[in-house]
Structure 1
Amino acid sequence: MKKWISLLTAGCLALSLAACGSTTDTASSQDSTASEASSAQSSETSEAASTASDGKVYNVGICQLVQHEALDAATSGFKDALTEALGDSVKFDEQNAQGDSNTCATIINGFVSDGVDLILANATAALQAAQAGTDTIPVLGTSVTEYGVALGISDFDGLVGTNISGTSDLAPLDQQAAMLQELFPDAKTVGLLYCSAEPNSQYQVDAVQGYLEDMGYTCQMFSFSDSNDLSTVCQNASDASDVIYVPTDNTVASNTEIINNICLPAGTPVIAGEEGICSGCGVATLSISYYDLGVATGKMAVKILTGESKVEEMPIEYAPQFTKKYNPSIAEQLGVTIPDDYVAIEE
C-alpha cells in the first residue's frame, strides 16, 4: 500500500509540473505575439499608443468667437485630428463667445485658471484674448487671416516666436480681385463691405482695394461696427456700387441673410472672401476648406502635446490649395455667366 501511494504521489507531481510548463509556454507565446504586433505598428500610431499607456490626459481648451459654418468646420477638423492621434488621452473644453470679444477674454482666463495643456483660439478676437491671457500655455490660432496684424507684430515674417502659432485662412487677395474682374469686367464701382472691429477684415479690404484700383475700378469703403448697423451700411453700399466685395469677416459670416435680402433684390452681386459667406449671399469666392485648416492645426497640436515640437519654433501654416466656387442659385437669379473652371457650392 505504501508503495502504491508513493507511485500515485509521484505521478500527480509530474502532472502538475507538466501543467505549469504548458502555462508558461502559452504565456511566453502570447507575449511574443503581442511584441510582434506592437512592432508592426506605424511610428505615428506607436507614439499615440505610448502616450495613452502613460496615463497622461491632455486638456485642451477651445475658444471659438462665434458660431458659423467656417469656424465650426475648423473646430471640427481640429478635434478630429487630435482624437485620431491621441484617442481618449485628449479632453476638450469647447466654448463659444457668441461674437463677443469680452467673452473671449473670460473664456481664456478660465482656461488659464484650469491649467489646460493647450488652447485653440478660433478667429482673431479669440487669438487676441489668448495673447493677453497667457504667455506660457501653448496657443494655436485658426481661421486667422494675418497674424502680424492680429498680434500687433510689425514686419511679420511668419514666425511669432512666443507661445503662439497656428494656421491662416488667407486666400491670395490678388486672385480674389482677379476673380471679380473676370466675372464683372464692365463694372465701374466696387463697394468694400467689412466690420471695422475686425482688424484682419481691414487688412484684406485695404489690399484688395489696391489691386482693384490698379485694374481701373473705383472703390469705396463701407464699414460697420457690428451687426446692428450692418443693414444700413449694406444698403448704402448696394446703392452706390456695381459689385460688392466682402472679406473673410466673422460678423458678415453670421449675418449673410441681411446682406442677401438687400443685395439680391437690388441686383448687386457680391464677391465673398470665403465659401460660407458665398453660400449665404455671394456669387463666387476663392475658397479653402476650413475643415482641412482645422485638421492642420490639430496636427500641430499633437506635435506640441507629445513634445515632438515647440510652439515657439513653429511657423504659421497656410491653406495648401484654393478653389474657385460659385453659388448656382444667386448666379442664376442675377444672370451671371460662370466660367467652366468654377465649382458649384452644394446647397
Structure 2
Amino acid sequence: MKNMKRIIAFIGAIVAFLAVALFTQPAQNDSTKLAQQKNIKIGILQLVSHPALDQIHAGIITGLKDEGFKEKKNITIEFQNAQGDQSNLKTMAQQIADRDDILFGIATPAAQALVNSANKTTPIIMAGISDPAGSGLVKSEKHPGANVTGSSGDSPLEKQLKLIQDIMPQAKNIGVIYTSSDAGGQSNAKKFVKLVKKAGLQPKLYTIANTNDMQQISQQMAGQVDAIYAPQDNGVASSMKTLVNNANQAGKPVFPAADTMVKDGGTAAYAIDQHDLGRLAGQMAGRVLKGKKTATYPVGFVVKGKYVLNQDQIDKLHIKIPAKIMQQAQKNGRVIK
C-alpha cells in the first residue's frame, strides 16, 4: 500500500513537472509564426500619390526582397492608396488591418490610421515618418514599446539652410510653407524656422489646410520673401508644381526637403533618398517576420543626404551655383536637366 502511494506520488510529481515545463517554455511570437507561413499577407497603406511617397513604396518592395520575401513566392501584397482623402484612409486602414498579417504605413497619417484600426499584436511598420515619437506612433525612437517600428528620415535641416545661404547669400526673408494637417511637415517647418532665426535671418511662416489652398497662399508668399523652403510635407509635395509656378513668376527659388520635389520644379536640395527610406522599412519588416520584436526594435534612420540640382530652374532664375556644390551633385548626387 505504501509502495502504491509512493508510485502515485512519483507519477503526480512527474506530471506536475511536465505541466510546469510546458507552460513556462517561451511562447513563439506572432512574427516568428508568420515567417513559417507559406504565404504572408502584407498590407501597404499610402496617404497619397506623389513621387516621394511612390519612391518609398518602391523601396519597401526592394527591402522585403533583400530579406528573402518576394511576391508570388512567399508573400502577397495588398496596396491601398487613399489619394489624400481622410475618409478613404480610415476605411482602407480598417480593411487591410482585418485582412493582412503585417502592415506598412507610408506617411504619418497612414501609419496613424493603421494604429487606430489594427489590433495591438499585428506588426505595423512605419515608412519614412519624420517624427515618430512626436506623432504618437512610438513611445520613443530607441524603445518603440508596442507593435510599431520602422524607418524615419528627419530632414537634415541645418544643411538645407546652409544650402540656401550658399546659393542665395543676399536672401534675408525665407518663406516656409507647410500643411496644417501634416504632423511631420509641421514639425519640420517649425524646426527650420528656429534655425533661420538662429542664423540671423527672417523666417515667414505660411500654412495651407489642403492642396486647394496652395494657389492663393503661394502666390502671396512669393511676393513677400527672397527664397522659399518646402519641408518634407505631403500636402506641399502634392502641390509642388503650383508652388513652383507662382514662385517662378515672382523670380523666387524653391528649396525643397525631398529629392523628388526637385524633379517637380525645386531649384536645389540637400536631401536623403526616399527609396532608401522605404528600403530600410522593408528590411526591418523582413527581420520582424523572422522573429524580431517591434517593441524593442529601435526606429531606423537614414541620415546621409546628397545634393540634387535642377539645371532648368537654375537657368530660368539665373542662379549661380557654387562650384563645390555643383561638383558634389555631379559626383555623388544628381543634376536634373
Same structural fold, with TM-score higher than 0.5 when normalized by the shorter chain:
yes
Correspondence for 1:296: 280
The answer on 1:256 being equivalent to 2:240 is yes
Task: Name the stretch that deviates more: 92-101 or 174-183.
Answer: 174-183
> What is the 5 A alignment of 1:1-347?
56-84=38-66, 85-87=68-70, 88-114=73-99, 116-134=100-118, 135-151=120-136, 156-307=140-291, 309-339=292-322, 340-342=324-326, 343=329, 344-347=334-337
Give 2:314's aligned amino acid: A
User: For the Cα contact (< 8 Å) 1:59–1:92, is it kept in 2?
Assistant: yes
User: For the Cα contact (< 8 Å) 2:52–2:260, is it kept in 1?
Assistant: yes
Could you tell me how far 1:323 is from its partner in structure 2?
0.5
Give 1:218's aligned amino acid: Q
Give 2:270's aligned amino acid: L
For 1:158 and 1:286, the matched residues in 2 are separated by 26
SS at match of 2:235: helix
Structure 1: give runs of 5+ residues left out of the alignment: 1-50
For 1:81 and 1:292, the matched residues in 2 are separated by 9
For 2:303 and 2:191, the matched residues in 1 are separated by 21
User: For the Cα contact (< 8 Å) 2:155–2:232, is it kept in 1?
Assistant: no
Change (3 A) 1:195 1:334: same
Give 1:148's aligned amino acid: A
User: For the Cα contact (< 8 Å) 1:79–1:298, is it kept in 2?
Assistant: yes
Greater fraction of residues in helix:
1
For 2:137 and 2:125, the matched residues in 1 are separated by 16
* 1:253-273: CA deviation from partner (whole Å, max 9, x where unpaired): 111111121111210111111
Structure 2 length-normalised TM: 0.83
Could you tell me how far 1:55 is from its partner in structure 2?
5.4
Could you tell me how far 1:213 is from its partner in structure 2?
1.1
User: For the Cα contact (< 8 Å) 2:173–2:227, is it kept in 1?
Assistant: yes
CA RMSD of aligned residues (A): 1.8
* 1:169-191: CA deviation from partner (whole Å, max 9, x where unpaired): 21221221121111111111111
For 2:145 and 2:174, the matched residues in 1 are separated by 38
Structure 2: give runs of 5+ residues left out of the alignment: 1-33
User: For the Cα contact (< 8 Å) 1:142–1:168, is it kept in 2?
Assistant: yes
Aligned length: 293
Could you tell me how far 1:152 is from its partner in structure 2?
6.6
For 1:94 and 1:283, the matched residues in 2 are separated by 32
User: For the Cα contact (< 8 Å) 1:101–1:126, is it kept in 2?
Assistant: no
For 2:175 and 2:185, the matched residues in 1 are separated by 14
Could you tell me how far 1:281 is from its partner in structure 2?
2.5
Task: Name the stretch that deviates more: 321-330 or 76-85.
Answer: 76-85
Give 2:95's aligned amino acid: G
Change (3 A) 1:258 1:188: same
Considering Cα pairs closer than 8 Å and 6+ residues apart, tell me whether 1 or 2 has the greater RCO: 2
For 1:75 and 1:125, the matched residues in 2 are separated by 15
Identity of aligned residues (%): 27
Change (3 A) 1:313 1:171: same
Give 1:232's aligned amino acid: Q
Structure 1 length-normalised TM: 0.80
